[in-house]
Chains A and B, each alone.
Chain A
Amino acid sequence: MSRRGFDPASLVAGIAVSALGVVLLLDQVDAIDLGFGYLAPALLAVVGSILLAVGLTGRR
């Protein structure tokens, strides 16, 4: 298996997904109260960031 180098899109996606996971975890431990008013833009931001990163860096 060959080493394919650095993939910025995966890094952006990983950070975005991790951030979303942290928000969800905070809700689960009752540190925050997540409503659709917060969830909708958060999800959109994650999906948009991933699409943007993939689009800008090119697809493998």
Chain B
Amino acid sequence: MSTPPTPPDQPDQPDEPDRPATGPTEPLTSGDPLGDGPERPGATPPPPPAAAAPTGPRRLTRSSSDKVLGGVAGGLGRYFDIDPIIFRIGFVVLTLAGGAGAIAYVAAWLLVPADPAPGQPPAGPSRGLTYVGVFVLVIAACVALGPGLFLIGPPLVGLGLIALLGVALWRAAEDRGGDGGTALRRAGLGLLLIVVAGVAFVAVTIGAAVGGGAVIAGLVIAIGAGLALAAFTGGARWLVLPALMLAVPLGFVAASGLEVNQGVGERDYRPTTVSELRDGYDLGVGDLRIDMRGIDLPDGRTPLKINLGVGSARVFVPEDVCVASDLRVGVGYARVLDRDSGGLDVDWKHSPREDPGVKRLVIAGDVGIGAVQVVHQPDEIGDRDFRGEDFRGRGFDPLAQDDPACEATA
């Protein structure tokens, strides 16, 4: 109690005009300084209800007295009446297991207001959301207008979605009110919702990848229309979550060009004559290997088409063949002989000069998520190429000297 509280965010207005005045209320416990101001041990008895400060659902704020960084875990622990160390351990574990903990912590830091100062009303909740909304829109504009900022987009999409989910769960728990005895049940409900959301995310991704994308897009439109119509009868903001749960995985599948209805497994092709070459090699998920080193390709163009949903495609070509390539990789890595590129939306086109009398292999490839590599020998590919350890990122250099195999011999 000796530590002065952190000054709160200044609310746009002391009271939200549209907050229901008759929401579920509960008496403040000794550990809950969130409703009418901070706890004051030894102070005079609380005034009668009629003279009390504005009442309403118990609110989550960042703790100013029990904090390591931003007071998020301290505030959560106080809100749910659980030891904050549990939340701290959770944040650390989730951070080490992929970084989600750090993202969630930062999102909560941004969205959850700090403890109100003594004598001040609780911080208004709308200002933080306004700031976050403006921030996300500015980033959206930067991502759209500046190719250099392209790669920072996807992590921010995840950050925005996590923040939105967190706000929704927070509001859902807050609106239900209740006392500390129901906190565990609410936390369990929140975790259940997250698990359900994760399962739904995977299910929608699979559904979109096997060809149900148009139906899912229609559902998104229908939910959006429902949201807009519901605005005139009080609103149905909760519909945003199912809409995004459908739209985000569908967008991911659409952007990556992911299609998994072409089979699953390993495919190893070793054609020895031109007639054994297929028109196209398709695989949904797995490892596709095409060894063309046993073929004596004729002079002129020989087309080769590859379509892979998720996985690794490797093409081994003879030393005397000039390779032209037109490759698209949604997420992953592309390599053609000594050039490579990786990341999102890899769009690779390379067409060496077409000299007469040259054996020319024209590769057209489309990979959703994964790697496509065209090399002469297997030892040019490391075992871990799919995860990008071999990625050198030199990209396509139009001034680079073409493969000697592309030059006509006298």
Q: Which residues of A contact B (CB under 8 A)?
A: 3-11, 13-22, 24-25, 27-29, 34-60
Contact = CB atoms under 8 A, between A and B. Distances in A.
Nearest to B212: A28
Contact of B221 (A10, A25, A43, A51): A25
B330 A36 contact: yes
Nearest 5 A/B pairs, CB to CB: A7-B235, A14-B228, A52-B133, A18-B224, A40-B153
Contacts of A5: 234
A7 B140 contact: no
A33 to B, nearest CB: 9
A50 B17 CA distance: 19
Contacts of A3: 233-234
Interface of B: 16-20, 125-137, 139-141, 143-144, 147, 150, 153-154, 156-157, 160-161, 163-164, 171, 213-214, 216-237, 239-240, 243-244, 247-248, 250-252, 254-256, 330-331, 344-345
Q: What is the interface of chain B mostly: helix, strand, loop, or mixed?
A: helix
A32 B229 CA distance: 28
B137 A45 contact: yes
Contact of A28 (B135, B223, B254, B330): B254
Contacts of B218: 21, 25
Contacts of A55: 126-133
Given A48-B160, A55-B128, A59-B171, A29 B214 contact: yes
A48 B5 CA distance: 31
B145 to A, nearest CB: 8
B231 A14 contact: yes
A41 B143 contact: yes
11 contacts: A7-B237, A17-B243, A18-B224, A18-B228, A24-B217, A36-B150, A36-B256, A48-B133, A48-B135, A51-B129, A60-B237
Contacts of B156: 40, 44
